């Protein structure tokens, strides 16, 4: 398991069971698949790339994983604009890993998620350079930012006193 994935799931070890997990810009779907294997109730894979969605579908077919999944053909901002699902139990966990060069998209998605004012949210953003969020966040609290090799993870939450 790569360092980034291991670090995220070490943080989530007591939070993942029963959670709704959103794998945003899912690529291969590895984060969502890992979430399923660790007890997430449902995983939504979101990617606008047909190639990525096909790969996630093949990866899911080859694994004996239980849980509910859905692969969505959508731009992440459009998906978030129409998102209205709530976790049956547990947490709402989002993992966002767009192409690193899409700097503008990082800020747009972080601000969009912040303005959604979601309860019980853990929101992880994987990026190649430190994030410089100049806008004021109204609901999200940045509680952890750490570098793992060439990758960074910024972890946000809406849960008061989470850590």
Q: Report H helices in 13-101.
A: 30-37, 50-61, 76-82
DSSP letters of 95-118? EE---TT-HHHHHHHHHHHHHH--
pLDDT single digits (tens) 126-152: 999 888 887 789 999 998 899 988 899
Structure confidence at residue 163 as a pLDDT band (50, 70, 90): low
Structure confidence at residue 9 as a pLDDT band (50, 70, 90): very high
Q: For the chain, what are the domain ranges?
A: 3-157
93, 8 Cβ separation under 8 angstroms? no
Quick one: 19 exposed, middle or buried, by C-beta within 10 A (0-12, 13-18, 19+)? buried
Pick the CATH number of 3-157 from 3.40.1160.10, 1.10.10.10, 3.30.70.20, 3.40.50.150: 3.40.50.150
pLDDT single digits (tens) 92-121: 999 999 988 888 999 999 999 999 999 999
Task: Give the CA angle between residues 138, 121, 160 to the nearest 5°.
Answer: 65
- The pTM of this model reads 0.93
How many C-alpha atoms does 62 have within 13 Å on its Cβ side?
Answer: 8
């Amino acid at each position: 398991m790569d360092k980034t994935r291991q670090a995220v799931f070490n943080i989530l070890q007591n939070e993942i069971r029963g959670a709704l997990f959103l794998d945003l810009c899912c690529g291969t779907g590895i984060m969502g698949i890992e979430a399923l294997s660790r007890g997430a109730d449902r995983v939504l894979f979101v990617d606008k790339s047909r190639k990525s969605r096909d790969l996630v579908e093949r990866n899911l077919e080859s694994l004996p994983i239980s849980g509910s999944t859905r692969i969505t053909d959508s731009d992440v901002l459009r998906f978030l604009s129409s998102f209205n699902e709530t976790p049956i139990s547990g947490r709402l966990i989002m993992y966002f890993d767009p192409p690193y060069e899409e700097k503008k998209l990082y800020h747009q998605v972080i601000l969009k998620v912040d303005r959604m004012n979601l309860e019980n949210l853990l929101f992880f953003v994987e990026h190649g350079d430190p994030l410089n969020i100049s806008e004021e966040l109204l609901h999200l609290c940045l509680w952890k930012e750490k570098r793992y090799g060439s990758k960074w993870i910024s972890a946000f939450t809406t849960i008061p006193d989470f850590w």
